[in-house]
Chain A
Amino acid sequence: MITSQDSLVPLTTYSGVIPEKRELTTRPRFSDKVFRAIVTSGGFTSLIILGLIALFLTLQSSTVFRQFGLHFITGFEWSQGDPESGAPAKFGIGAMLIGTLVVSMIGLMIALPISVGTALFINYYAPDWLRKPLTIMIDLMAAIPSVIYGLWGFFILMPHAVYWAKLLHKYLGFIPIFRMPSEIYERSPFIAGIVVGIMIIPIITAITREVFSQVPLDRVQAAYALGATRWTMIRAVVLPFGASGVAGGAMLGLGRAMGETVAIYLVLNLYFIPNFNILFSSGGNVASLIVSKFGESEDFELRALMAAGLVLFVVTLLVNFLSDLIVKRTARKGR
C-alpha cells in the first residue's frame, strides 16, 4: 500500500511547455486525387457561373444604378423618355417588386396547405396501390412547361376565378385587399397567384412528402401505442418532425414563384402602379416585366432590364439564404 506521496513514481512529466500543434495530413491515393479533382471542378463550375452572371448583370446595369440610385428600386414608373420633347427616361421597378411579392405570397398560401395535405395523404392515408401513381403524377406536374400553365390559366381558369373574385369582393369587400378601385377582375394578382400556386404544388409536395417519410418509426409507434388516432399521431409526431422540411419546401416554392415569368406574363396585367387590391386587374412582377419589354427595347432601357434582372437575382439569393436559416432554426426543434 502506498502511503506517502514521494513513493509514487510520476507517470508524466509536464514541463509546462505546450508543444506546437501538429499538422494532420494524409497522402491521398491517386484515385482519390482524380475523384477530388472532378468533384472540385464540378463544385467550382457552378460557383463560377453564378459569379459570372452576377458580374455580367452588374457591368451591364451599372449606368442605370448610377443614374437612378435607390429610386430604381423604390420608383413606380417606366418610360423611355422622349428625345423630341426632351422628357428624360425614368425607370423604377417598385411596383414590380411589390407585384412579385404579392403574387408569390398568394401562390404560397394556396400551395402550402394543398401540398402538406397531399403529402400527408400519400404517406398516411392513401391505400398502397394509389401511393405510387399519385407520387408520379405530382412529379409530372412539375415537368409541365410554365407556358402551358399560363395558357390554361388564361383560357380555363380565368373565367372561374373571376367569378370567385366577385364573390370574395361581394362578401369580404370590407377587407382592404379585397377592395376594387374599379370593376375589372381579369388578369389580377389573385388569378396569377392561383396559377403560380398550382405551379409550385409539386415541388413543395415532393419535399414535404420526403421529410414526412423520414419520421422515425419508433415515435410513430409510441404514439399509436398510446391510443392515438391517425390525425392526433400526425399532429404530435409527424408535423413537429417535418416542420423544417415544410418550411424549406415553402421557401423553395417561394423562390420558384418569384422567378416565374411566362405564366405571369399571360395572366397578369402589367401596370407600374403599386397595387394591393389583389382582385383588381393590375400588377406585374420583375420577371414578366423583363419578357414583356425585352423584344422592343434598346440601349438604355435594355440596361434597365438588366438592372431589374440583377435585383431579382439578388432577391432570389436572399430568399434562398433565408430559407436555409429557417430550415436550420426549425430543425433544431422537433427532432
Chain B
Amino acid sequence: MVEINSKIEPAQTNEIQSEPRSKSRQENKMQETNQVASLASVAAQTSRAINKFTPGSGFETKNVHAWFGKHHALADVSLEFPSNTVTALIGPSGCGKTTFLRTLNRMHEFIPGAAMAGQVILDGQDIYEPGTDVTKIRLKIGMVFQKPNPFPSMTIGENVLSGLRLAQLKRSNKEELMEECLTRAGLWNEVKDRLGAHGGSLSGGQQQRLCIARALAVKPEVLLMDEPCSALDPGSTLRIEETIRQLAGSIIVVIVTHNMQQAARISDYTGFFLSDGGPGQLIEVGTTNEIFSQPKDKRTEDYITGRFG
C-alpha cells in the first residue's frame, strides 16, 4: 500500500523562518510533542481494519498530474485505496488536494482549460479510457462538496432520490432506499417527520448529511469528500465522522481534511500533500498510525507537529 513518491526532491528547510524568543520556543517545543503524542494516541485508539490493496480490484491512481491551463497544479500522484477503508488527504491549502480529488471522478474537466495525465483505475478499468461514459463513472464514484449544496427546488425526500432521477435509474422500493440512505447518513431521526420540507430549511450540518445521503442513494463504490466538515459546527462534525466510520464498512472513502485530529480519528490511511511553490505532490502515505506516530519524511513531521501550514 505504502508508495512513497520517488521523484520528490530532498527535504527543504521548512522550519519557521523567524526565530521566536527562546522561552516561548521552549513552550512551543513542549506543545508540539504534546500534540504529536495526542494525535498519535488518537490515531492509535481508532480500531482499524487494515485491508491490503489487491491489484485489479478497488481504486487506485497512477502518476496523476493535473493542470489549470498552463499552471501545473499537481504532479505524479500514485495512490492505492483498498476496499472498505477511509483515506484522509492532508496538507496545507493550495497543495492540490481538491484538484486531486476532482480528478478521481472526472469533475476536474469541468474547469475550462483543465487537463490531466496519468490513470485513475476503478475495478481494473481506467476511468479516463476513451469511450468511457463519464456519467456512469460519477455514479460509481460519488462526491460530497465542501459547501453543502442540496437542491433547493426539491424536498428533503426528493433530494435523497435526486440521483436516481438525474442518472435516470429505475428503482421500485424508493421509500426503503430513502430511509436506508438517510439512516446511513445519520439524518433519518431528525427528518423522518418532514421529508416533504425543502432541503434549504435544514441547518448546515443537516444539509451536509442530506448531501451524503443523496450521494449514497446511487450506491457508489467510492465516496469522495472535500473538507465536508469545514463549514460545520462541532456537533455536526461529530455526526458526520461517525457516518464516515460506518460507511467504511462497505465502501471506499477518500476525505480531504484540514483538521488533523479528524484525520487521526477517522482514517485508516493518510496521505500528505505539499507544494513547494511548484505543483503539489504526494509526500508520504501510510497507515494513519504510522503517519501520526513515526512519519518517515521530515516535512510530514513538520506539518503534523504544526510547524507550518
Contacts and interface: CB of A to CB of B under 8 A. Distances in A.
Interface of A: 128, 216, 218-219, 221-229, 232-233, 236-237, 240-241, 333-335
Contacts of B215: 225-226
Contacts of B138: 224-227
Contacts, number: 76
A225 B105 contact: yes
Interface string B142-164: 11010101111110000000110
A225 B168 contact: no
Interface of B: 105, 107, 110, 112, 135-136, 138-139, 142-143, 145, 147, 149-154, 162-163, 165-168, 211, 214-215, 218
A227 B152 contact: no
B186 to A, nearest CB: 20
Most chain A beta-carbon contacts within 10 A, residue among B110, B112, B166, B211: B166
List of 4 A-B pairs having minimum Cβ-Cβ separation, nearest first = A240-B153, A227-B167, A228-B166, A227-B139
A216 B166 CA distance: 17
A232 B218 contact: no
A226 B145 contact: no
Contact of A236 (B139, B149, B151, B218): B151
A232 B218 CA distance: 15
A64 B165 CA distance: 60
Nearest to B137: A227
A334 B145 CA distance: 20
Nearest to B147: A218
B135 to A, nearest CB: 5
Nearest to A239: B153
Contacts of A128: 112
A335 B152 CA distance: 6
A224 B151 contact: no
A334 B151 CA distance: 8
B254 to A, nearest CB: 14
A227 B218 contact: yes
Most chain B beta-carbon contacts within 10 A, residue among A216, A225, A226, A333: A225
Given A224-B110, A227-B135, A232 B166 contact: yes
Given A226-B167, A228-B167, A229-B168, 18 more contacts: A219-B149, A219-B151, A219-B152, A221-B110, A221-B149, A224-B110, A225-B105, A225-B107, A226-B142, A226-B162, A226-B166, A226-B214, A226-B218, A227-B163, A233-B166, A237-B151, A240-B153, A333-B153
A233 B167 CA distance: 9
